[in-house]
Amino acid sequence: MVRPFRFGLQLSRAEGPTEWRRLARDAEALGYSTLFIPDHFDDQFGPLVALTAAAEATTTLRVGTLVLGNDYRHPVVLAKELATLDVLSGGRLEVGLGAGWMTRDYDAAGIGLDPPGTRIARMAESLEVMTGLWSGEPVTFAGQHYQVSGLVGTPRPVQRPHPPLIVGGGGRRVLSLAARMADIVGVNPSLAAGAVGPEVIATATAEHYDERVRWVRAAAGERADELELQCLTFLVQVVADRRAAVSRLADLFAVDPAVVDGSPVALVGTVEDLVATLSERRSRFGFSYVVVHQAEMEAFAPVVAALSGT
| Band of pLDDT at residue 73, cut at 50, 70 and 90 | very high
Q: At residue 104, what are phi and psi to the nearest 5 degrees?
A: -60, -40
CA pseudo-torsion sign 179, 184, 269, 275 = positive
Per-residue pLDDT tens digits for 94-121: 999 999 999 999 999 999 999 999 999 9
Give me the count of residues in the chain: 310
Contact 219, 236 (CB under 8 A): no
Distant-in-sequence, close-in-space partners of 211: CB < 8 Å, separation ≥ 6 = none
By DSSP bridging, strand 139-142 and strand 147-151 are antiparallel
192-220: average pLDDT: 89
Contact 31, 89 (CB under 8 A): no
- Please report the pLDDT score of residue 252 as a whole number: 87
DSSP state of 151: E
- Largest Cα separation within the chain, whole Å, is 61
Give 124-157 as a 3 state SS string.
HHHHHHHHHHCCCCCEEEECCCCEEEEECCCCCC
Q: Per-residue pLDDT for 191 more than 90? A: no
Q: What is the mean pLDDT of the chain?
A: 96
Distance CA 251, CA 235 (A): 14
What is the distance, to the nearest Å, from the Cα of residue 251 to the centroid of all Cα atoms in its chain? 28
- Please report the pLDDT score of residue 198 as a whole number: 72
- Please report the pLDDT score of residue 202 as a whole number: 87
- Specify the higher pLDDT residue, 201 or 245: 245
CA pseudo-torsion sign 43, 48, 54, 60 = positive
- Please report the pLDDT score of residue 193 as a whole number: 74
